[in-house]
Structure 1
């Protein structure tokens, strides 16, 4: 059986007809659906690219995985300007689809959902973030997509969430509120992370000496300040002004990297700031995480961030924010407002002066991350996919 998957992905197509993405959403990611379905069709925004542009990128398509293109648009202005072109592409994408899984929230995925529903065929949702936070800078979009997600989760046959509790309460499914026992309404939760056993490391021992204390941070795309890059740069500035030997490594790449590099120069801390650029391989990310002493993630909007789980898996103590599913991972004492430079800084000072607490955090984080190891998540995902497939047979 063929499954249509709509997601907020951005693909590049080279002249040989192959599809590529920067990170995470390569063939291995989409192949998880092949454990139940025989063929996967990904509906994604796509644009042509030169082969040089995709160096280091991940191949998306392959055996039994194909791509149906939507116009490559970013931002609400482009969607509005090219609305009818986009809608024509969406209608074409869903024309022959018999079964769908929609990953929300996403402007393009919401559009795919709208036209797939008209077919009257079974579909399920994977809710991966909260639009209330994701669209916080645009109150109209925030209201509209929060409302749309609440409607969507009540109408879908199945809904899976990346959190174990938070998103379920804000966006309940029919299976939850009506206590349905029928097979045509069902609910689950699982992270979309692919965390294999060899990614994990042992908890850490800390001996704080004269070596730099290294902060590490991960963001797939450095295109906004939603992940807190500016907050971290100000933390480094504050701590160095207090004579703490602090450095930071930012994993990832994007259109705002140059802006943050310039900000680090303005703060006169640029020699203590490292940008790795694009790292497509999980092992490359792992090596950078292992070189850090603490993971700091002042994010403004998340579902259940894989970046935090990966850092926990290699034994890094983590500081973050109390948004969406993060309190399901970290204790309240390690969560601060995303703009609160003082609280993050004070906590880091406290931890530098207390290596035993760092070691305790490391132990707890590895133990918690084991809940997200792939062998545990695979069965939950497959059970969910199978319930959807049975509705289509």
Structure 2
């Protein structure tokens, strides 16, 4: 049976027909569905380009194909391309396909509506909270309040109609977007941590007094919801208070020039390094291992993969009290979102307490083990089987 999976990732297609991602889920990510299904079709936006780029990784390959949608960025371009996108989505899955929608997603909503009209089943992977994604300070679109209500209501309706639902959180998203009673559900982060992702022992020791500490954060700069602007403000406050701290940011995005200018105006441009995209695995591990403290100042989150990866390295961490972050960090390691003063105070307090750093390292490493590949993959497979079985019960199995 083929499974059709929608994605909000944006891919590139070279003249030879190969599909690439500069910084998103590559072929290895999509092969997880092959543990239950025979073939995967990824439905996503694809932009034709002459070359993939030096850091690009292949998306399509053995038993994984990409169904290209017209390329757009942002609500305005989506509205202009909506008819063409809807037509392409309508052709992406036939009646015999199993369908899994990674939501919230405008693309997923289009396919869900078509399946609902034809009384066909679909499963959901809920990876974020649209109510928080459109919170004040996260998106500056003039229709933000309307979009917030509409997308949250749509996700509630989709969860109520799905035949199986997988959530990246243990409880947060489940409470806001419940499935129907009796529908199979599971909690399974999208992260995939092999044994090599984990350090053997927690960190011990502290940052010596007077030594310049290194903060690290990981995330996209395509929007400001990751709160990098708040972290830069906090860094300036720490510097003014005489606490020597540096910041390394891993990630890319269109707001990088704006954030670099913010660092310049705050007088900390020489203390902020934008490292760009970093390949997963050993290259990212080196970046995390070189830091003293991981900081996730997000205004909104589902369950942040970057934070779990840092925890698996035994890295002490601070995060905001949004989304699924409180499911990962202890209460004393949480700060309010959008509050640079509170964040600066928390960083100073953490770096100044060797016992707290050691305790946080051990606690984070232990919690990260709950998100290892060995723990999560059986949950994912149970979810996939639920979607497959619901499709089979319709008598719509694709013959091979």
Shorter-chain TM-score: what band? over 0.9
Q: Distance in 2 between matches of 1:281 and 1:328?
A: 23
Q: Is 2:220 aligned against 1:214?
A: no
CA apart distance, 1:317: 1.1
Contact 1:11 1:47 in 2 (8 A): yes
Q: Report what 1:19 is aligned to.
A: 19
Q: Is 2:184 aligned against 1:186?
A: yes
Deviations 1:229-254 (A, max 9, x none): 11111111111111111000000111
CA apart distance, 1:96: 5.6
- Once the two structures are superposed, the pairs formed by residues 185-264 of structure 1 within 5 Å of their partners are 185-201=183-199, 202-209=201-208, 210-219=210-219, 221-264=220-263
Q: Is 2:76 aligned against 1:77?
A: yes
Q: Distance in 2 between matches of 1:268 and 1:97?
A: 59
SS state of the match for residue 312, structure 1?
helix
2:154 pairs, out of 117, 142, 148, with 148
Structure 2: runs of 5 or more not aligned? 393-400
Q: Is 2:65 aligned against 1:66?
A: yes
Q: Report what 2:281 is aligned to.
A: 282
Q: Is 2:181 aligned against 1:170?
A: no
SS state of the match for residue 240, structure 1?
helix
Contact 2:95 2:120 in 1 (8 A): no
Contact 1:214 1:248 in 2 (8 A): yes
- Once the two structures are superposed, the pairs formed by residues 1-393 of structure 1 within 5 Å of their partners are 1-51=1-51, 53-95=52-94, 98-136=97-135, 137=139, 138-174=144-180, 178=181, 180=182, 185-201=183-199, 202-209=201-208, 210-219=210-219, 221-393=220-392
User: For residues 97 and 322 of structure 1, do their structure 2 counterparts lie closer, same or farther at Cα, with a shift above 3 Å needed?
Assistant: farther
Deviations 1:129-157 (A, max 9, x none): 11000122411110001000000001110
Deviations 1:79-129 (A, max 9, x none): 222221221111122346521000100112211221233333221000011
Contact 2:206 2:357 in 1 (8 A): no
CA apart distance, 1:321: 1.0
**How many residues are aligned here?**
383
User: For residues 45 and 96 of structure 1, do their structure 2 counterparts lie closer, same or farther at Cα, with a shift above 3 Å needed?
Assistant: farther
**What is the RMSD of the two structures over their aligned residues, measured on CA atoms?**
1.3
Structure 1: runs of 5 or more not aligned? none
After the TM superposition, which of the residue ranges 366-375 and 337-346 deviates more from structure 2?
337-346
Deviations 1:253-285 (A, max 9, x none): 111112211221111211111111111333211
Q: Distance in 2 between matches of 1:158 and 1:211?
A: 51
